[in-house]
C-alpha cells in the first residue's frame, strides 16, 4: 500500500491522461492501463481512509496527533477523488455512453476486490504481527519491572 499523497498524485496523473485521451478521440480500450492505474490509486486511497478511521494499535499508542492530521489529509484527498470520479463519469458517459461507465465501475469493483485480497490482506497481517510483538514486549517489560521491584523490596528487607 502507498501513502495517500502518492495515491492521489497517481490518480491525478492517470485522470489527466484519460481526459486528454478522451479529448483526442481515443477509444476506451486504449485507455485501459490508465483506467487501471486510476482505479488502483483510488483503491489505495479508500484503504488509507479506512485505516485512518481505525488506525492500528501502535499508531494509537504513539501517534495520536499524527492520526488526526492523517485523517484530515486523507479526507481532503477523498474529496478530490470524488470530484475526479464525477468529472470522469461525465466525460466517459458523454463520449462513449453510460454503458461504458457502468463497465468501468464493474471492472473497478473487481480490481478493488483483487487488491484487497492480495495487497491489503498482507498489510493487515503484517500489522497484526507487529501488534502482537509490541504487546508481547510491553507485557514482558511490565512483568520484568514488577519482578525487579519485588526483588529490590525483598532485598531491602533482607529476605534474600
Cα–Cα distance between 133 and 22 in angstroms, integer?
A: 50
> Where are the domains positioned within the chain?
4-119
CB atoms within 10 A of CB 101: 19
Question: What is the pLDDT confidence band of residue 58, given thresholds at 50, 70 and 90?
Answer: low
Please tell me the predicted confidence (pLDDT) of residue 14: 87
Q: What's the whole-model pTM score?
A: 0.63
CB 81 within 8 A of CB 42: yes
Cα–Cα distance between 43 and 75 in angstroms, integer?
A: 14
pLDDT tens-digit series, residues 63-82? 556 666 777 787 888 888 88
Amino acid at each position: 500500500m502507498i501513502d495517500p499523497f502518492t495515491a492521489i498524485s497517481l490518480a491525478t496523473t492517470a485522470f489527466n491522461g484519460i481526459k486528454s485521451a478522451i479529448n483526442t478521440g481515443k477509444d476506451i480500450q486504449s485507455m485501459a492501463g490508465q483506467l487501471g492505474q486510476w482505479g488502483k490509486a483510488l483503491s489505495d486511497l479508500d484503504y488509507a481512509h479506512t485505516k485512518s478511521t481505525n488506525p492500528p494499535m501502535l499508531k494509537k499508542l504513539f501517534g495520536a496527533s499524527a492520526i488526526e492530521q492523517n485523517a484530515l489529509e486523507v479526507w481532503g484527498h477523498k474529496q478530490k477523488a470524488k470530484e475526479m470520479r464525477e468529472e470522469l463519469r461525465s466525460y466517459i458517459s458523454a463520449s462513449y455512453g453510460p454503458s461504458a461507465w457502468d463497465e468501468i465501475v464493474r471492472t473497478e469493483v473487481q480490481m478493488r476486490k483483487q487488491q484487497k485480497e492480495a495487497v491489503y490482506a498482507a498489510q493487515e497481517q503484517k500489522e497484526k504481527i507487529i501488534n502482537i510483538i509490541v504487546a508481547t514486549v510491553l507485557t514482558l517489560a511490565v512483568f520484568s519491572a514488577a519482578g525487579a521491584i519485588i526483588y529490590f523490596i525483598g532485598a531491602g528487607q533482607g529476605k534474600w
